């Protein structure tokens, strides 16, 4: 092989190796950034879970006797039944009577 061709091949190979090194460095940077982002996400998630668990601990449960619990349940059921009855009455009163009609559709005012 001629020296000119060899030098060209060597130059091209050096360029290709240099580009490969740059690509490798870029990929390594991306990998480190992704790892850092993943670690930060895990840290945020664990902090959120801890915060929620603290909030759960702070919440106090009512100390009701079974009789009082049953009394409250009955009162709430009565409220809901009254609410449903009122809603049912409103829908029935707003609709016209079943036999009521407006008249013929082609009626014109003269």
Q: Report, as ranges of residue numbers, the positions in the chain whose pLDDT lies below 50.
A: none
Domain that holds residue 38: 3-51+65-90
Judge whether 95 lies within some domain: no
Give the span between the Cα atoms of 76 and 56, in whole angstroms: 25
The pLDDT value given to residue 1: 82
Q: Is residue 78 part of a domain?
A: yes
Question: How many domains does one find in the chain?
Answer: 1
> Which one, of 84, 82, 63, 85, lies nearest residue 74 by Cα?
82
Task: Indicate whether 24 belongs to any domain.
Answer: yes
């Amino acid at each position: 092989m001629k020296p000119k061709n060899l030098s060209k091949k060597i130059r091209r190979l050096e360029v290709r190796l240099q580009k490969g090194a740059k690509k490798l460095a870029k990929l390594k940077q991306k990998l480190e950034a992704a790892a850092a982002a993943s670690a930060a996400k895990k840290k945020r998630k664990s902090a959120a879970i801890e915060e929620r668990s603290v909030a759960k601990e702070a919440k106090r449960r009512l100390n009701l006797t079974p009789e009082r619990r049953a009394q409250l349940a009955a009162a709430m059921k009565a409220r809901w039944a009254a609410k449903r009855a009122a809603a049912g009455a409103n829908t029935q009163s707003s609709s016209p009577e079943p036999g009521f009609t407006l008249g013929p559709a082609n009626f014109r005012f003269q």
